[in-house]
């Protein structure tokens, strides 16, 4: 995260104002000066849980102590980013990079909070859908010109050309309507990958090979015009401690709800009796396509309801942002 922020500063990539700290007292001093709401982030990977949007100073102080003093995220939290709170709507944008060229993929939106109404702690993602209605063609152009291309060129200028998937977490600011970079990931991301793969009609392997060979300049992709949505089914208790080894039934029945339904496994295994069991926090990605958000949502939830797993849970309000736009 600190590396990304320094890159943004150097190459004029729009992002939130920030400072980096390893000392809790200095971090709290900065927070007190800036005021709340404010964002506290662990510098490293923390399974999607290392971000605290503090609405009060006390919440920010508690997050700082948790990361820097108590070491709740281990080495990932040994350094924290204190960041300006941006008000707006989040979206994710993806591009494939071959070191010099960037090929835009598609947009998505996810629901990070564990509970309906976007309440509770952050998770690795409780759902996603693609495309994100807020990411218009004009916004895509702005993201490529102002964020993705400068990043690719900046990395090359630093002597470390990037090849792979660039996942840009965006905030579309409420006042200006302009995109700012929240974070970068260098992977497709889960659960966003599921909805992207449901919509991609080109040969993924060939496109990835072109990226490896530095040949993206003349590549184009074909995408389904349909909407895709994934509803994550998670083990009760996630993102805190959760049970393992609970039996999941009726997946065949769930996938037969519609030819447009696909269930992705994230945290499953077979036990000694051949039963499918949950072994992770986020366990299933129940995914569907439809002509619009309403149809994709209906198909996904019909499939979810067909799964027999009493120890699992999921959010019932997935897609509310897209429904609002529609």
Same domain, 144 and 207: yes
Is the torsion defined by CA of 180, 186, 188, 190 positive or negative?
A: negative
7 and 45 in contact (C-beta within 8 Å)? no
Bridge partners (DSSP) of residue 313 are 234
Same domain, 159 and 268: no
For 169, the enclosing helix (H) or strand (E) is strand 163-173
pLDDT for the residue numbered 72 = 73
Helix (H, G, I), strand (E, B) or coil at 138: helix
pLDDT for the residue numbered 71 = 79
Asked whether residue 29 is assigned to any structural domain, the reply reads yes
Same domain, 268 and 200: no
pLDDT for the residue numbered 141 = 96
Cβ-Cβ contacts under 8 Å for 13 (sequence gap 6 or more): 7, 146, 147, 150, 151, 154, 181
Q: Which candidate, 71, 189, 85, 179, places its Cα nearest to that of 128? A: 189
Q: What is the CATH number of the domain that holds 268?
A: 3.90.600.10
Same domain, 109 and 181: yes
Name the residue range of residue 268's domain. Answer: 227-317
Write down which residue in 181, 212, 243 finishes a domain: 212
For the chain, residues with pLDDT lower than 70 are 45-49, 74-77, 325-326
pLDDT for the residue numbered 50 = 77
pLDDT for the residue numbered 191 = 94
Asked whether residue 326 is assigned to any structural domain, the reply reads no
Exposure of 219 by Cβ count < 10 A (0-12 exposed, 13-18 middle, 19+ buried)?
middle
82 and 21 in contact (C-beta within 8 Å)? yes
pLDDT for the residue numbered 121 = 86
Q: What is the CATH number of the domain that holds 42?
A: 3.30.1490.20
Number of domains in the chain: 3
Same domain, 103 and 174: yes
Q: Give the Cα separation of 154 and 164 in Å (integer).
A: 15
Q: What is the CATH number of the domain that holds 193?
A: 3.30.470.20
Asked whether residue 3 is assigned to any structural domain, the reply reads no
Write down which residue in 59, 84, 109 finishes a domain: 84
**Alpha-carbon dihedral 85, 89, 94, 97, rounded to 10 degrees:** -40
Residue that is written with structure tokens 């184009």 in the block? 220
Entry pTM: 0.84
Asked whether residue 11 is assigned to any structural domain, the reply reads no
Helix (H, G, I), strand (E, B) or coil at 166: strand
Same domain, 97 and 183: yes
Cβ-Cβ contacts under 8 Å for 57 (sequence gap 6 or more): 31, 32, 35, 36
Same domain, 208 and 94: yes
Same domain, 192 and 273: no
Same domain, 166 and 208: yes
Tokens of 46: 């923390």
Same domain, 176 and 157: yes
Exposure of 189 by Cβ count < 10 A (0-12 exposed, 13-18 middle, 19+ buried)?
buried
Q: Give the Cα separation of 292 and 2 in Å (integer).
A: 39
- pLDDT tens string 119-143: 898 888 999 999 999 999 999 999 9
Write down which residue in 212, 239, 257 finishes a domain: 212
Q: Give the Cα separation of 63 and 157 in Å (integer).
A: 36
φ, ψ of residue 91 to 5 degrees: the values are -155, 160
């Amino acid at each position: 995260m600190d590396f990304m922020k320094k890159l943004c500063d150097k190459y004029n990539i729009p992002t939130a104002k920030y400072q980096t700290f390893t000392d809790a007292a200095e971090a709290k001093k900065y927070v007190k000066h800036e005021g709340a709401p404010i964002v506290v982030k662990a510098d490293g990977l923390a399974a999607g849980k290392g971000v605290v949007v503090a609405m009060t100073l006390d919440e920010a102080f508690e997050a700082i102590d948790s990361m820097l003093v108590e070491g709740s995220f281990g080495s990932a939290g040994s350094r924290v980013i204190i960041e300006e709170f941006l008000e707006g709507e989040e979206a994710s944008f993806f591009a494939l990079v071959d070191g010099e060229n960037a090929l835009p993929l598609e947009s998505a939106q996810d629901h990070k909070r564990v509970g309906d109404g976007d309440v509770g702690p952050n998770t690795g993602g409780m759902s996603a859908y693609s495309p994100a209605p807020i990411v218009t063609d004009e916004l895509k152009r702005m993201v490529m010109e102002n964020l993705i291309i400068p990043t690719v060129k900046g990395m090359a200028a630093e002597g470390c050309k990037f090849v792979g998937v660039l996942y840009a977490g965006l905030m579309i600011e409420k006042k200006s309507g302009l995109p700012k970079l929240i974070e970068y990931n260098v992977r497709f991301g889960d659960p966003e990958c599921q909805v992207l793969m449901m919509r991609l009609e080109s040969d993924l392997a060939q496109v990835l090979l072109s990226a490896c060979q530095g040949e993206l300049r003349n590549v184009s992709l074909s995408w389904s015009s349909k909407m895709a949505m994934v509803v994550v089914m998670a083990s009760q208790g996630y993102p805190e401690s959760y049970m393992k080894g609970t039996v999941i039934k009726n997946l065949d029945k769930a996938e037969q709800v519609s030819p447009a339904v696909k269930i992705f496994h994230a945290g499953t295994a077979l036990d000694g009796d051949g039963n499918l069991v949950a072994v992770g926090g986020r366990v299933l990605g129940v995914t569907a396509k439809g002509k619009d958000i309403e149809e994709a949502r209906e198909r996904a939830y019909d499939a979810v309801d067909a799964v027999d797993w009493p120890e699992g849970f999921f959010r019932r309000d997935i897609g509310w942002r897209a429904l609002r736009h529609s």
